[in-house]
């Protein structure tokens, strides 16, 4: 499961605000200049559905229910670096230069991935341009997804035309990647810019 968004930055602050509002209201196709004659519906939230498991029979009483959430399995930078390697492999195959990681934007992306995990729902960031406030950029894009492995998420992104467009956008030079894995899934937020 994945979702994507792309924005273009203009010189005027008002235009930036309008682009953000237009993206949230109309979806990325209109902002990116796609030739559609009618507004597309672009959901910003997706529920994660997990397969049901057969009941387990046990002879011992079940453990008491705890209200403390389980500790995350992985939140380290190495997961982001692994995903960056997968992304740069796809870019190299298309004859594009490698993206460089932005650790400040990655920290923001990680927080967003943790928020999606806590809600068991995929959704785009609402204030991600704030994460780019110290960076020089003209265009930016976002992919969010969840799955069982980084490789499966990347495959899903590459099989989706809008996600693939972000990954293979020649104008993007930097990326922030936030990977958070819990007992339910691996959650990822990828913020591209250039």
DSSP characters over 42-66: --SEEE------PPPP-SSPPPPP-
Question: In this predicted model, what pLDDT tens digit does every residue of 27-56 receive, in sequence order?
Answer: 333 222 222 222 333 333 444 444 444 444
Q: Please check the confidence at residue 101 and state whether its pLDDT lies above 90.
A: yes
Query: In the sheet that 100-101 helps form, which strands lie side by side, from edge to edge?
Result: 2-8, 139-147, 186-193, 174-181, 100-101
Q: Is the pLDDT of residue 92 over 70?
A: yes
Return the residue matching tokens 């960076």. Answer: 135
Provide mean pLDDT across the span 63-87.
Answer: 66
Residues 58, 9: Cα–Cα separation, whole Å: 58
pLDDT at residue 134, rounded to an integer = 85
Residue 121 has a pLDDT of: 97
Q: Where are the alpha helices (DSSP H) in the chain?
A: 13-26, 28-31, 77-93, 103-119, 128-131, 150-158, 161-167
CA 124 from chain centre, in angstroms, equals 7
Average pLDDT (107-128) is: 95
Q: Residue 2's pLDDT band (boundaries 50, 70, 90)?
A: low
Closest CA to 5 of 30, 37, 35: 30
Backbone angles phi, psi at 2, to 5 degrees: -155, 165
Q: Is the pLDDT of residue 64 over 60?
A: no
Question: Per-residue confidence at 17, pLDDT binned at 50, 70, 90?
Answer: very low
DSSP 172: -
pLDDT for 36: 24
The β-bridge relationship of strands 2-8 and 100-101 is: unpaired
3-state DSSP assignment of residue 119: helix
Name which residue leads in pLDDT, 127 or 87: 87
Distance CA 161, CA 135 (A): 27
Percent share of the chain, pLDDT over 90: 55
């Amino acid at each position: 499961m994945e979702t994507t968004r792309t924005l273009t930055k203009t010189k005027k602050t008002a235009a930036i605000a309008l682009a953000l509002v237009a993206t949230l209201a109309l979806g990325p196709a209109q902002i990116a200049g796609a030739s559609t004659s009618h507004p597309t519906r672009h959901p910003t939230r997706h529920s994660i559905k997990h397969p049901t498991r057969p009941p387990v029979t046990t002879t011992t009483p079940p453990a008491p229910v705890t209200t403390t959430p389980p500790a995350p399995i992985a939140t380290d930078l190495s997961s982001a670096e692994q995903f960056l390697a997968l992304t740069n492999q796809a870019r190299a195959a298309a004859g594009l230069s490698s993206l460089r990681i932005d650790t400040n934007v990655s920290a923001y992306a990680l927080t967003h991935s943790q928020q999606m995990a806590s809600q068991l729902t995929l959704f785009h960031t609402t204030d991600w341009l704030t994460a780019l406030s110290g960076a020089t950029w003209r265009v930016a894009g976002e992919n969010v997804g969840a799955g069982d492995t980084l490789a499966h998420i990347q495959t899903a992104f590459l099989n989706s035309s809008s996600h693939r467009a972000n990954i293979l956008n020649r104008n993007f030079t930097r990326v922030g990647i936030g990977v958070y894995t819990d007992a339910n899934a691996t959650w990822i937020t990828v913020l591209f810019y250039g």
